[in-house]
Amino acid sequence: MKFLSYLYRFFSNFVFLALVYYALNVMERYQQRAVVAILVLVYAGMRAASALRSFYFFQRIERLEVEARRLSGLAGEGPAAASQRRAIVTEVSGLRSAGEMKSYIDLLFLAMVVLLCITKIVTN
């Protein structure tokens, strides 16, 4: 299931990149291309800021994971409760790493979109 989520994220970002490439190549006038490229750059900047902000969130979750692991060993509630907490922390850790990977995929494609837009603005 994790692989399918990565594949979906890759495919959706690839479609976005292809649409931007097509839209910028279809327009004949430089002014139209520049306006569309600038609008796409603004959109890509907002998405990149959101992806970078999510890394801060993932870092906080990682700190909570470490603290939860430390506290689960100290709590004397029995082996069943400790194993349940370990399972929850492991699941959260997997979700966090999957979220980080998806953010990396997003940033990769956003960087390609930015390079494409800058290239179309600079060249005639």
Q: How many CB atoms lie within 10 A of CB 103?
A: 20
Taking a C-beta distance cutoff of 8 angstroms, is the pair 95, 3 a contact? no
Q: Which two tokens stand for residue 2?
A: 């994790």
Distance CA 96, CA 59 (A): 9
- Give residue-wise pLDDT tens across range 13-68: 999 999 999 999 998 899 999 999 999 999 999 999 999 999 999 999 888 888 88
What span, in angstroms and rounded, lies between the C-alpha atoms of 120 and 38? Answer: 10
pLDDT tens digit sequence for 84-123 = 777 888 888 888 999 999 999 999 999 999 999 999 999 8
In this prediction the pTM is 0.83
Q: Among 2-6, 55-59, 72-76, where is mean pLDDT lowest?
A: 72-76
pLDDT range class, residue 83, cuts 50, 70, 90:
confident
